[in-house]
Each structure stands twice: as C-alpha cells, then as structure tokens.
Structure 1
Amino acid sequence: MARRFVTRILILWVCLGLAGEAAACTPARHARLETNLELVARAPTILIGRVVRWDRKKVPENQYYEESSILVEPVEILKGEGPQAPFRLDDMLAMTEGLASPADSQPSAYDEFREPHVNAYMGGCIRYNFVIGQLVVFLLATEKGMWVPSASIFSRWAEDVPSVDGPWVKLVRIYVQASQLPKGQRRKFLRAERDKLLAGDLGRIERLMADDIDRQIKRRP
C-alpha cells in the first residue's frame, strides 16, 4: 500500500508540473535487489499486453488530484491465470509518443536485461509511465479484485518488447519454467538453457541473454 501511495503522490507532481530532478530516486548503496528469476517466481501472473488507452478522472474533493489508469489489451499469458479482456492498471500514465517526454517515450532497451526502464528511477521507484501502442511484458498480482504491479523497487515489472518473440520474452519464458521447478533443480535447468545459447549462433543478443541467465545462477541482482 505504501508503494501505491507514493505512486499517487508522484502523479500529483506530474499533474502540477513539478516532476523533475527532485523526483529522481536511486538504489541505496549495497541494496539487495531482486533478480529477474526471483521477480518472475514471485509474480502470480505474467502477460504480454498492449497499452491502448489512458483514462483520467477528476476527484471532486481534491482539485489537484486526478485518478489515472491505463487500459491494457492482453496478447499472451506467460504465467498463471490472466485476464482475457482489456483490463485496467490504476495509478499509471500513458501518452501518445509525440506528447510524452523523451525519457518516458523511450522504449525499454531491447538488449538490456538487468536495468529497468529509466522511468523506474523517478518518483515512486517503479515504472508508471507508458506510451500508447507499446507492447509490454507485465508482471502482475491482484489486490482487492484489481490488477496491480507485482513489483519491488527498481524492478523490471513492465518492460517494452518488440514482439512476442523478443529477447526479454524468451528470457521470461525460461525463468517461468525455472520457477516452476523444485529449487534444487533450478540451477541445473538454467545452466542447460545458458549452454544452449552459447552453443548456437552466438550473436551479441544471445551473449547478453546468456549473461543474464548466468546472473540468476549466481544469484546476483
């Protein structure tokens, strides 16, 4: 609930035009952040979805605050039971590419598997800003019947992907399989998946994917 409150405060800053360097946040030195495997294992639902709309509504009792949500159209469920129809994520923003700021409209780097989207380093310390039309891998949970981020701070809970077969999607599929194994079997499975990548036509992306799998094996964030 604290994260939800912080996100709402940040939206207020954005509506007032106050978001900027003062709203930035960075991980504490030596902080132990969750690995990608840990994030995937903890998320009850993971899906690929497309951001299709941003809804805003004034709150009568507070002239400075707007309820804000995005509408996401599910494309493919990667883990768990997910929505079959478009669903809402509250306390999120989405704009058309021409109206969004350069940082917010910049998609996740498709060859980056360790750092979250740059928006995660602002305000509430999780990503909350999207561009309409983006295809995104969402890690989700439910709270009081509503879909919410399954996110810790500075985590890759919502990353843009170029397609349903993009590199990050492939890694998430591997981590979903690994997370469903007994803990004693996970490293063996991950080593095998890493070695498959290293044994194939090793391009730059495959090397980076293998490096990320190796981080999970070594339990480094």
Structure 2
Amino acid sequence: MRSFFLALALLAAPAAHACSVAPGYRVPTTLELAAQADAIIVAQPFDQRTGANGEPEILFASLVILKGAPGREVKDDRIVAYAPGVLEPETAAARPSDPRELVRAHPEAYDGGCVRTTFHPKQWVVLFLKREGDDYRVISYPFARTAEDTALPDSRWLKAVREYIAIAALPPAARRARMEVRRDLLKARGDADSLAIAADIARELAGPRKPLREPLPPVK
C-alpha cells in the first residue's frame, strides 16, 4: 500500500505551523486509507495533554469501532487514540466538517498546517488509526480525510466509510467488481447520499488521483 504515498514532508503539529509536501504527492483516497488503517473508529475527544515532542495532543475514546473489531457500541473495551491538536470549546474556533463532503479535508487543513488540529469536546469524529506499540494514533497525511466529523448512526461520511471498509476487506483483485456493483446500486437508490457516494466510487474506479497541484472536484 505504500506505493501510492510519495515521499512527503509534514509537520504533525498544530496548524500554526506550516507544512510542505513533496512534488507529485497524491492525497490518499478513502479506500486507500481504509486499507491502510489498523483501526477505524467513531470517537469523541475527552482529554488533552502535552505529547512527547512538547506539542499539545488530544485523547479520543471510541464510541463505535468500524474496523479492528466488530462494529458495535463499545462500553468497557474502548480504543483510546491520540492525535496532535487542541480542544476548543468555542464552536466558531472548532469548525465542523462540511456534512456534504466526501473528498476535500476539513477546512482547517488548508489554513497552513495541512491537517486538522482543532476539535470541539462534543464532536464525534471518524478516525483512521495506525498502531504504534501499545497506542493508536491518527494517520497524518496532508489534506487526507482521517479526522472528519460525523453523526450517528449514519451520516453521509459514515456511510461512505463503511462502503470502503467493506471493499478494502476484499482481496485487491476483487475490489473493482465490488465497487462497480455498489456504484450501480447506490445510483439506483437515487437519494442524495447514495448519489454522492456512487460518484465518489466512480472517481475511485477512474484511477489514482492526480498530484496535489491539480484541483479537487467541487462539492455537489
């Protein structure tokens, strides 16, 4: 799975720091992230601390585990995950994700830091995680949708993530056929969420994303 991630330079720190990416860097798609992640959860931030590098770090507790264990509500055996960032109780500062969006990252990623680092204590977020020793940490790629808001039980984003988790669980050779079937079924349903997810699957079927300098498709 590493072949689609070109070498990049990223400061995994709050957005006040600037980041840069290597020429030719391609933002990973949701399918690529779902295949790479060791766990995917719906989580809520519950604490903040100073990380080993001296930067602020947020702790998230899972509400639902989508990948890494059977999808279910979790009570006692929660996954705790870590990410660089700060908790901000003011809604204006901790902007929510666009509920219609499936492609572009949270607006804060475009403010200079390339990743989102500000969260409201009551936000529910879909997190794509990698295991690091005994910890889970949010995957950090510039402009990737690895920490986007959701609602339970089924926001548009959560529906899309579930689709890609199911596709990523298949052998690579079987994924294209599955995507073609799901694209057509979702288009036939005709509701706004299904059409948006079908269009995103069609983009996945069209091949790798263009390098970052190419514009991402507009919100529909």
| TM-score, normalised relative to structure 1 | 0.77
CA RMSD of aligned residues (A): 3.0
CA contact (8 A) 1:27 1:154 kept: no
Which of 6, 27, 41 is matched with 2:11 structurally? 6
The residue matched to 1:6 in structure 2 has which SS?
coil
Structure 2: 5+ residue runs without aligned partners?
1-6, 210-220
Q: How does 1:146-161 map to 2 (within 5 A)?
A: 146-161=135-150
Match of 2:185 in 1: 196
Is residue 2:139 matched to residue 1:134? Answer: no
The one-letter code matched in structure 2 to 1:69 is E
Residue from 28, 39, 42 that aligns with 1:45: 39
Paired residue for 2:216?
none
Is the Cα–Cα contact under 8 Å of residues 45 and 58 in structure 2 kept in the other structure?
Answer: yes
Aligned to 1:62: none
Displacement of 1:81 in angstroms is: 4.3
1:87 corresponds, among 55, 64, 80, to 80
Q: Give, in whole Å, the separation in 2 of the partners of 1:146 and 1:204.
A: 37
1:88–1:138 Cα change, 3 Å: closer
Give 1:128 shift.
Answer: 2.0
1:206 aligns with 2:211: no
Contact 1:48/1:138 (<8 A) preserved: yes
Quick check: 131-140 or 32-41, which moved more? 32-41
Q: How does 1:59-208 map to 2 (within 5 A)?
A: 66-81=54-69, 84-85=77-78, 87-98=80-91, 101=93, 105-200=94-189, 202-208=190-196
State the Cα distance separating 1:213 from its structure 2 match.
1.0
* Structure 1 runs not aligned, ≥5 long: 60-64
Provide the secondary structure at the position in 2 that maps to 1:163: coil
If each structure's helix is expressed as a fraction of its own residues, which one has the higher value? Answer: 1
Aligned residue identity for 1:169: L
Moved more, 78-87 or 89-98: 78-87
Query: Which stretch shows the higher mean deviation, 77-86 or 122-131?
Result: 77-86
Q: Give the percent of matched residue pairs that are identical in Structure 1 and Structure 2.
A: 31
Between structures 1 and 2, the one with greater strand share: 1
Q: Tell me by how many angstroms 1:135 deviates.
A: 0.5
Question: How far is 1:27 from its partner?
Answer: 6.4
The CA deviation at 1:153 is 1.8
Residue 56 of structure 1, CA deviation: 4.9
| Distance in 1 between residues matched to 2:157 and 2:83, nearest whole Å | 24
Higher alpha-carbon Rg? 1
What is the distance in 2 between the residues matched to 1:159 and 1:72?
Answer: 13
CA–CA distance in 2 between the matches of 1:197 and 1:178? 14
